[in-house]
Each structure stands twice: as structure tokens, then as C-alpha cells.
Structure 1
């Protein structure tokens, strides 16, 4: 019987590419939006705060050697970070750590912030988390070309510029930051 560890490293890397998909957390955003917009749901204030189930990819549970090797690869996959879904008026904004673990966020090497709004709470909580500990080698920030004059944008940009003294932050102005594709090689 052939073990996963018997395969060449190049083959294992291809398998990790298919099994480790950190950017899939965004699917939970749509599930929440669909839930809140369902007909017959009643007043939004009667809905309990949603719980997003986080899971560990099965490949990370096989054995210690595979886990170490797969995590090494996982932390190098560029992570696209979108502002968390808006909740209704009686709830605070959802935190990114409700979708992705803080431990994982602090170990990524390349983050890509895709902001269509200032998302002040979202960005500031990320920067606070990364201020405590991070292994970022680069942070790309995609933001819209227009509507950058609000107070929220000024706060977000100020904190990002300060953070750039720790980690290289590259700003990109685009028409639609949610659909702008960043090259992982740049």
C-alpha cells in the first residue's frame, strides 16, 4: 500500500493545491446573506447571531509530517480578505475571526485586502491582530478609485500607512476591488 509520504514532494504539492483552499471562507458570506434575505424570515432582530462553523482540512489531520508540510504550503497561499458581511442594525459587524482563525491569519505570508468600502472595523481588527503577531511578507490593498474622502477611509489609510513600516503594503486603485485579480508572483 502506497502512503502519501511515498509520493514525490511535487505530487504532494499538487494534492495540497486541491485540498487546501483558504479563500473558500467567502462562501459563508453568501450563505449568511441568503439566510437574511429569505422570504418569510420575519423581523431581522428576531434572528439569533449567526454561528459560522470553521473546520480544519482533513489533510492536516493525517499525521505530523504531512501537517507540517501542508501548513508550510498553506501559509504561502495568498489569502484574499474581504470585508465581513454587514449584519442588521441591532448587531455589531461580524469579525473576520468568526470565519478564519486568528492563528491562521497571523501566519499567512501574503494578504490581499479587497475593499469596496472603508470597512474600518474589519481593517482595524486585522491590523490589531497582525500588530500582536504576524508573518506577513506583503500586503496588497485593492480599493476603489472613487469615494476615498470619507473619515472612515482616512482612518483606514492612516493605519495602513503606519502598518507599512512593519510590512510592505502595496496600494492598488481599481474600478472594482472585489473582482480585481492580484498576481501572487508580484
Structure 2
């Protein structure tokens, strides 16, 4: 089955692929991504050449110098990637396997099966699913990525899909709620279905 990628997904995938091809030369970029809260951060300047090479939105160039929704979406997904890959040199040597990657919330649903983690995970997930504030969501997604890394460093997260979700999240209230429903299904419903199928 062939799944078509959106422009946001392609751009994110291309940047991650380029980071892999350049190997250890991009430790500075990965470090800058981890330290920067947004594309507007001074430390993020190191990331700009690679980022702007791919993001060519019609609203990028104009009088408004604020970050675009594409830039925020892709930057956040790349930040999650950098956080997950920190100290994972052996993992970075393997090619990024987008086809076998699971969404961030699907990866969290696997962790949710552990009763020791469930209550804390549920609280954090509920906080993300109940807000339409993009700043709060981006901060929470980075924290959730750290939780996945701490509990399953072999996980493969679908960063292009995450970037696309973040792009859609910023298109308005209704769109943000649709993304929240998608994430909620991946976190709660798919996990429960998987367990009942195994029974």
C-alpha cells in the first residue's frame, strides 16, 4: 500500500535523511535543536540553513517576520528527533526507517500497557489532548518524546507525521480538535483494541 506524503512530511523526511547522510558533522545542529525552544531562539540560527533549504512557503517571505506554521511544525518535529537521538550514536547509524515508524502517541500507547507508567502518562496525554495552545503542545510533545526515549530507546517515531499533525493543529480550533481526536485514538483506542485482539 502506497501512502502519499504531504509537503510537510516530505520536507521533514528530507531534513532527517540529510542529517543522517552527514552523520557526526551535524552534532552541532542536533545540539542546537535540543537547546532551542523555537525557531526564533538565537541558538536555532545554526539550524536555519538546513531548515530554510526545504521550507519555501509562500508566507515565509514578506513583511511579517514571525515564524510560519510550517516552520513551527517542522522545527518541533526535528527538535523531538534531536531529543530522542541524543546519546544514541548507534541508533543514528541506522537509516531512519519511516515506513516502520509509529506515531508519537502510538509509541506512548505501548508504554501505557505498563501499569507503573499509566497514570502519569495519562495525565500528561490528557494535558496535551485538552488544549488548543500550540506553545503548550510543543513543550509537552518534547517532554513526551523524552519519556519514550527513557522507556523504549529502540522505538521509531514517525517525525514527518508528527510535523504534519502540528501543521494541521495550527489551522484553527476545529482543526486542532481533529488532531487531538487522532492523537487520542492512537493513545487510548488503538491500544485497547490491540489488547482485546491479543486476548
What TM-score, normalized by structure 2, do the two folds share?
0.30
Structure with greater helix share of residues? 2
Larger radius of gyration: 1
Structure with the higher fraction of residues in strand conformation:
1
Higher RCO, 1 vs 2 (CA within 8 Å, ≥6 residues apart)? 2
